[in-house]
Amino acid sequence: MTLPDTGDLSIKNVTKTFGSTTAVDHVNLEVQRGEFLTLLGPSGSGKTTLLMMIAGFEDASSGDIALDGASILNVPAEKRNFGMVFQGYALFPHMTVRRNISYPLDVRKRPKSEIESRVEEMLALVQLEGFGDRLPKQLSGGQQQRVALARALCFAPPVLLLDEPLGALDKKLRIEVQAQLKAIHDRVGTTFLYVTHDQEEALSMSDRIVIMRDGKIEQVGTPNELYEKPRTVFAADFLGKSNFLERSEATYALRPEKIDVAPSGDLQCAVSVTGKIQTISYFGAVQKLMVMLDDGKCLEVDVDIWRNRNAFSVGQVVDLGWTDDAVTKLEG
Amino acid sequence: MRRKSFADRIRTCAVWSLLMFLVLPALVAIPVSLTPKRFLSFPSSELSLRHFETLINSSQWISSFFQSATIAGATALLSTIFGTLCAVGLWRVSSKMGETVRAFLLLPLIIPQIISAMAFYHLWIPLGILDSYPGLILAHTILATPMVLITVSASLANFDPKLEQASRNLGASTMTTLWMVILPSIKPGVWAGALFAFILSWDEIVVTLFISRFSVYTLPRRMWNGIRENTDPTVASAAVVLIVLTALAFVSYELIIRKRQRSA
């Protein structure tokens, strides 16, 4: 994959207020060309508002947004040339799949022959050859999602904005489409700016993730960095599961799968404590143990079921241990 | 099947009587139009089509028919354009200010027609459009535009605003978006509005009486005069023609809507 020659997006000190509420609060972010960047956060964290400002549907209250170094704040939405995949797809119901995909080229008055070949190319990209003459309502949710993607990529935008595009799909299909989306990103090389509240989507597809909270950026990093080295309680809790330990006036995060557990007396580890199993929840591949320590605090522990067949039962006293590098010191 | 109880029968009777009560007065024109006599009356022994003949052969009636059709057609066209643009504009703005403007635009529907009629009369004199096609078309358009605003706004309530955003995001200007995306989606509301506007103008009499005199003579006005001055049964046959035409228009409208719903 060669690096595209456009698609650097910089968000400089952008703020958006609605009346007395601040939806986006002095956000600074550099999106690099060709990158798959995910804005991850709970609803109300400002991620969709930020995306809408980039798309041009909302005006920034202050700050600047620039593409390849040039401010786009005064460019209307229809001139920004950003592709967008909407939540619920927003396909035009009265147009065929082909007309939907060719729409951005039609309004740009490109020559007919170019439009035709480009649409076929796009149908092939999203594996919908032969579906061109159908209406959107004659397609499944996953197929509609791919039409929306083809339509948004058809005019080769420098940046593709995706607003929770997989929200309407069921879980199994979602995982399939995640892989397809990542593959398409690798093929077209466009900057993808992806908004979601689903941490698994963020982890599996992104080059970098931006965790947002209350209109501010909580932490930015690669999926691995964010998972292994969360900086705050919020980041550790929102991306994956975490136990929080208070030691000498600092808070530490400890992932449930990084705790070793063994029947009492069996464990040799740097740090180890004793506790009693309160509940066991079954998840097929793993089981989650809630273990109450002697000081009354509960720890969540993930246990690989296959490697610990019939090892644990409710009420059992167990030893818990972890190595020093398993815990991450948090700020605040 | 359950046997119909006495109460059921009473209810059925009541419903049918009510329906008849609503429809029959209009249908009274049918027997009257078939009277062989020279004045408005029910036919006693024989039926005659002579008043239909008079109607068809009367240049005055035919002229009024075409005048009304022209005015109603122009009114439908103009008020549909204005009403649709208003509705789309208010929908896009969707603010408190917009709602105030909407209430304002609906005023012509709420103000008693006799008051509008007086207002038009006083305004049209200095404008020099009293008793003219432009004067009547303008007045009817002002009365009919709120109808279109209402039906189109109802259609827009079901329109997904994301489609508009998607269109703009894909590079379409506001006009292209209106033409290619919004209008096709709200077509039923636009057509219903046009139909209502046409019918409003087609049988408008109050305002028409005030602002027309000699040069414009619409069908309702000719019927009004026909009844008031010479109790001519031709009025009844004209009424029958109107009833039939209106019924045909509504039936075909319903058929088109149903066909579209089936294909959708």
Residue ranges of domains in chain A: 9-234, 249-329
Which of A239-243, A247-251, B140-144 has the least mean pLDDT?
A: A247-251
Q: What is the pLDDT confidence band of residue A273, given thresholds at 50, 70 and 90? A: confident
Mark the ranges of chain B whose per-residue pLDDT is less than 70: 1-2, 263-264
Q: Does A90 sit within 8 Å of B170, measured CB to CB?
A: no
Does residue B243 fall inside a structural domain?
yes
Does residue B192 fall inside a structural domain?
yes
The distance of B164 to chain A (nearest Cα, Å) reads 9
* Total count of domains within chain B: 1
Does residue B31 fall inside a structural domain?
no
Does residue B181 fall inside a structural domain?
yes
The distance of B153 to chain A (nearest Cα, Å) reads 19
pTM of the model: 0.81
Q: Is the pLDDT of residue A267 over 50?
A: yes
ipTM of the complex: 0.85
Does residue B117 fall inside a structural domain?
yes
pLDDT (0 to 100) of residue B264: 57
Q: What digits encode the pLDDT tens for the residues B80-132?
A: 999 999 999 999 887 788 888 888 888 888 899 999 999 999 999 999 998 99
pLDDT (0 to 100) of residue A1: 47
Does residue B23 fall inside a structural domain?
no
Architecture of the domain delimited by A249-329 = Beta Barrel (2.40)
What domain range includes position B129?
64-263
Compute the average pLDDT of residues A303-322. Answer: 88
Q: What digits encode the pLDDT tens for the residues A149-206?
A: 999 999 999 999 999 998 878 888 888 889 989 999 999 889 999 999 999 899 999 9
* Residues in A touching B174 (Cβ below 8 Å): 78
Compute the average pLDDT of residues A259-280. Answer: 83
- By C-alpha distance, the chain B residue nearest A150 is B170
Q: Does B173 sit within 8 Å of A77, measured CB to CB?
A: no
pLDDT (0 to 100) of residue B46: 84
pLDDT (0 to 100) of residue A22: 94
Q: Does residue A115 sit at the B interface (CB-CB below 8 Å)?
A: no
Rounded distance, CA A89 to CA A146, Å? 9
Does residue B154 fall inside a structural domain?
yes
Q: Is the pLDDT of residue A5 over 90?
A: no
Q: What digits encode the pLDDT tens for the residues A7-49?
A: 899 999 999 999 999 999 999 999 999 999 999 999 989 999 9
Does residue B32 fall inside a structural domain?
no
The distance of B109 to chain A (nearest Cα, Å) reads 33
pLDDT (0 to 100) of residue B31: 86
Rounding to the nearest 10 degrees, give the CA dihedral for residues B252, B258, B262, B264: 100
* Residues in B touching A87 (Cβ below 8 Å): 162
Q: Does B170 sit within 8 Å of A94, measured CB to CB?
A: no
Assigned CATH topology for domain A9-234? Rossmann fold (3.40.50)
Partnered with residue A277 across adjacent β-strands are A291
| CATH number, residue B119 | 1.10.3720.10
